[in-house]
Structure 1
């Protein structure tokens, strides 16, 4: 088994390649931010608003093309707030759609494992009639919250690895 680090958060991590995208791109009023905690974890937090047809916040990380196989798995050590989130990948940055895997957090530190082959394609909240992930590269990862309800949220991320 080969394990590659996608991102390991520390107190000195550079977050330049992490970008928050809120529903404001569509007129919504949700707000999310991404920062480092004093303990060295990525902190994605904010408030989801349903005003003006809003309802989501996301943080994405663009990276150099990472070789994967459909059998690869993503492992993420995180601590959520008990809310549902989505983990998304793009095999090519220029793709408009992502491959999606929803997950629920427990409020405790946990390690989740996502099989790339189980990730389904979606765009703007709709599942696409295309096959699940079956590519050889990943160029972007995203965490998204959008549960069709107004809520505060906080997701701590320790590390993200690729298991081949």
Structure 2
């Protein structure tokens, strides 16, 4: 079974997401998630190292996104050759423990990226949190997309959907 959490063919889905860029730490990177009339969302912007910056992200509003027995998160994406992260939060807060896993979609063609639930690692502001519990997929409240890891310049990731694979 693969329940869809976000179907970006619906223009309203992208409206539930907001940017959270390195400006929270003084940087000047920019991003946003917008609906494309071709029937998907686009996470795009520019990552800058100015003022000790270096990341751009978007995150959905808190909601009931948790599912028991999730073995993987499935993204239908069109990449630009850059590496991205899927971020999961188990609370409604702005800051705190964030579970991250990377994915690297091919450039120029639609692809399905499967990220195993076990691959999500607890972090806080990009640093590992050794004493945090493993991800509890039943408690997921927020989902986000991020670009970081010293990838300066413009980026563009098209997203058709985010779904879960349930055991």
Alignment of 1:12-51 (within 5 A): 12-51=11-50
Write the distance in 2 (CA, Å) between the matches of 1:149 and 1:112. 20
Mark the runs of 5 or more structure 2 residues left unpaired by the alignment.
none
Given the superposition, is the C-alpha separation of residues 90 and 11 from structure 1 closer, same or farther in structure 2, using an over 3 Å criterion? closer
Paired residue for 2:101? Answer: 101
RMSD between superposed Cα atoms in Å: 1.7
The CA distance in 2 between the partners of 1:138 and 1:74, in whole Å, is 12
TM-score (norm 2): 0.89
2:145 to 128, 131, 143: 143
Structure 2 Cα separation of the partners of residues 15 and 134 of structure 1: 25
Q: Deviation per CA, 1:95-125, whole angstroms, max 9, x where unpaired? A: 6111010111211211011122221101111
Match of 1:53 in 2: 52
In structure 1, how many angstroms separate the alpha carbons of the residues matched to 2:105 and 2:13? Answer: 25
Q: 1:71 to 1:158 in 2, by over 3 A?
A: closer
After superposing the two structures, state which structure 1 stretch, 59-68 or 121-130, moved more: 59-68
Distance in structure 2 (CA, Å) of the matches to 1:134 and 1:161: 16
Runs of 4+ in 1 over 4 A off after TM superposition: none
- 2-structure distance, mates of 1:109, 1:138: 26
What is the aligned length? 163
Unaligned ranges ≥5, structure 1: none
Q: In the alignment, what sits opposite 1:3?
A: 2
- Cα offset, 1:149, TM superposition: 3.7
Specify the alignment match of 1:154 in structure 2.
156
